[in-house]
Amino acid sequence: MKNVGVDEIACIILGKEDEVDDLVESDLVDILIEEEFNIEPEQFERIVFKLLKLTPLVKSAVLDKCYNAFVHNGNMILKDEMLVE
């Protein structure tokens, strides 16, 4: 199952953030990843999730939980809940 957050991150990195919806719907993101980075989309996804652990904590105002998250234009794109004591 594809992770739309990873696809969105790829589009932003590639300067195609205005085309995210169209690229995801047409499954072109994988082709762009392969052409630009010379890696398989699955490898890109693994790298993104490894890097997610290095992102700063972001607190959700709605849920009052903390996440490591990639943030773009004030919105969390991809997040992983962190246990904070």
Domain enclosing residue 50, as ranges? 4-81
User: Is the model's pLDDT at 74 over the cut of 50?
Assistant: yes
pTM strictly above 0.85: no
pLDDT of residue 85: 40
pLDDT of residue 64: 84
Other beta carbons within 10 Å of 37? 15
* Separation in Å, CA 35 to CA 49, 51, 78: 20, 21, 23
Contact 46, 4 (CB under 8 A): no
Q: Are 78 and 70 within 8 A, CB to CB?
A: yes
Q: What amino acid occupies position 85?
A: E
Please give the tally of structural domains in the chain.
Answer: 1
